[in-house]
Amino acid sequence: MSNSGKSRVNRFAAATALKRRKVHLDQPDQTLATDYPCRLNLYLRPPPPDFTIEEFERFALDRLQGKKVDALLKTLEVGKLRNRPNDEYKNDIQQVLDKYLPLNSDGDITEERRKDHISHFVLRLVYCRTEESRHWFLQQEHALFKYRFEQESTEGKRRFLETANLDWEVVDADTKKQLLPFLQKCACLEMEKSAVASYVANETYYELDFEKVPDLVGNRQAYLHKGKVYVPMLHQTSLVMDEFDTRLSRMLEATAQSLPRLDNDDRLKPILMNIQKQYSGNMYTRLMGITDDLKASEVDMMVEHHAPLCMKTLHGALRRDKHLKYGGRMQYGLFLKAIGLSIEEALLFWRTAFANKTDEQFQKEYAYNIRHNYGLEGKRVDYSAYSKIIKSNGPSTGDYHGCPFRHFSSGNLEARLYKDKISQSDVKQLVDLVRGSYYQVACTKYFELTHPHHQKIDIIEHPNSYYELSLDDKEE
């Protein structure tokens, strides 16, 4: 990268591979066949080195403009919530992408794919600095990649899967025959029984490690046998998106660790800072207009009436077990902090909740972490509340944090929904949304069902947004 466009450098290589020390890397000319064999890209390798400073900034700003498509994608989710056909909105989304981030199958495809590649890596540099910005960037890239993948042709998907080096194994005919009764039993939960035999016979199945798809197993959408899961191509999108999120999350953290070396570049630093100003995330350290006036004695009532299902689940487990593991304490504690629980009231609340602990145990094992979350210990960082936990930091045995719509089994989710006096038909709609991986839509629908007098809303993005909306409903 240079002002003249002649000399070649690659600063991305230094920011994405921790062991590399070189910043200036000579690379041979890259070709369409070897570097961009298909439109879809997992962005595993740094982009080509021959681009100018002007392209560096312009490509990134165009990608941010293209990320306005994220708002349109949420319109699609609202359409799902309102039972409106997706096709009504796809034309609007495609117009935005065609203007800022075109990625066609013909025409100047090398330049389009080059721009897509470079712009992704520039924004990765910009938004890797904090957990909040990494989360936002991952959300945006997830939405964009998912839309592109779903619009891709069958042949395009096949070509992508061949080149993506995913650790999937296609189930052969003999193995499939042995597993046939079990595969059919799983399929019965997703379609009419009369269609099951033909569907299973003609469907392609993949064999994966259990750890890759625990949600599909929990919802009985895939067969588990000896640590391996047999997943139909029907759930291909879910599998690809899990791979995309896992890899990008890991690469963002690696980039963040290498970033100090790039901050010394006088040409890049002001450009990166300018791009970063285009988005400043919604940091829930305190809810807007809410002061530290929530009392420990009021938490039960406020959570019961205004908290989302994830926080109700954590609160219920805390009251029942008089304890929460670390992941649950972090998610719930930062939520309570953001809704107005002061440090003094937080210490009182948690000390009362952990009734089985002695004062000495509480001070030694828990009080420090509570003060740390409020920026009073350690690096004194004022931590913000967690956004939705769907793709990362899922619960393990004995944990209660996470997203109930993503991490509960179908049976446990249905039981919880019936406990909230949701009708059978509405429970079925929520479960269907979950099986389609529309977790945020399901959460939003849950809000509407439990707040029948509230006006129609957009998709809920954050547990604390849910709380704010519920408080507004009370005030109305």
Annotated binding site for [4Fe-4S] cluster: which residue ranges?
310, 403, 443
Give binding residues as ranges. 310, 403, 443
Cβ atoms of 338 and 288 closer than 8 Å: no
Spatial CA neighbour of 123 closest among 101, 141, 142, 149: 141
Spatial CA neighbour of 451 closest among 469, 463, 430, 439: 469
One-letter amino acid at 251 equals M
Q: How many CA atoms lie within 13 A of 248 on its CB side?
A: 29
As a whole number of angstroms, the distance between CA 436 and CA 456 comes to: 22
As a whole number of angstroms, the distance between CA 72 and CA 325 comes to: 38
The backbone torsions φ and ψ at residue 231, rounded to the nearest 5 degrees and listed phi first, read -110, 130
Cβ atoms of 401 and 395 closer than 8 Å: yes
